[in-house]
Amino acid sequence: MEALRNGIKAKYLTYHLTDRDRFPEFTYNTNRANYEPLVKSFEEEFYVVRGMTRGSTTIHIPSTKTFASIFCDDTYVPGRKILDTCQSYANGQLRGVVTKEPETPAVAQPLTGTIRKSKNRPLFLVALLVLAGFASYIAVSQLRFAPSLIIDYPTQHAVVPRRFFASGHAVNAHEVWVVAHVDKTLDYYVQREVITSPSGSWKGLIHAGRVGNIDIGLRVQLRVFVNPAEPLEAGEIVYAWPEAEFSSKTIEVIRGPKDR
């Protein structure tokens, strides 16, 4: 279920980055009213993007109450049609969900001879395909939608001035937040948010510690965040790494003597 939750969140993020007014950020908690935008994104995915009819019986879009249970109740197990619909939303078409209405099947001609020997083979193949599809969903969903957050510069253990430009890549992210933590202090410095380019690259000015010589020689940890759980402000000082939907690995640099 955790992989499914992450897949749904990642897919919704793509809708949010496309249209922030129709698909705003929200908190995945027990308040069922929060999930209205998620329901709308499901309807957009199946009825608009995939062109399915609203009377289709091959999908079952969860209600806001059901979404609250999926994300907040570890004992809740959704029905097969709801589960198939959620998996299809998160990672494309999976078993039980079709994007076109089924056509009337042609009348099958009776077979003779080897039918008894081979009748179980299709069921075996279907089972293999289902297992392979589900395994692919778990393994690929995060790679497909989750931002790949990388700090290209500065490199690990580089010596940096108090003010310098950091750069990197953030796939599938509209903006990133860089936070700098000076070793042996309680301060975590929130830098100004950086808008990513269409290719996913970003570059932003970083302030590593305080003015003057007090922090020279100290180690400074840098991390990049996407979609912080709580709003951040440029220049704000917090006292721990912020909670966020995605974050990069930590890069540690050394504060040099130069101001810039």
DSSP state letters, the chain: -HHHHHHHHHHHHHHHHH-TTTS-----SS-GGGGHHHHHHHHIIIIIIS---TT-SS--PPPHHHHHHHHH-TT----HHHHHHHHHHHHS--TT--SSPPPPPPPPPP--SSHHHHTTHHHHHHHHHHHHHHHHHHHHHHHHHS--EEEEESPTT-EE-SEEEEEEEETT-SEEEEEEEETTSS-EEEPPPEEPPTTSEEEEEEE-S-SSSTTTT-EEEEEEEEEESS---TT-EESSPPPEEEE---EEEEE-S---
pLDDT value of position 93 = 52
Architecture of domain 149-255: Sandwich (2.60)
Q: Name the residue ranges covered by the structural domains of the chain.
A: 2-103+114-145, 149-255
pLDDT value of position 176 = 95
The whole-model pTM stands at 0.45
Q: How do the pLDDT tens digits run along the chain, 260 residues long?
A: 888 999 999 999 999 998 999 999 999 999 999 999 999 999 999 999 988 998 888 899 999 999 999 999 988 888 889 999 999 999 875 434 444 444 444 454 554 444 444 455 666 666 666 566 555 554 444 433 345 789 999 999 999 999 999 999 998 889 999 999 999 888 899 999 999 998 889 999 999 888 888 889 999 999 999 999 999 999 999 999 999 999 999 999 999 987 76
pLDDT value of position 208 = 87
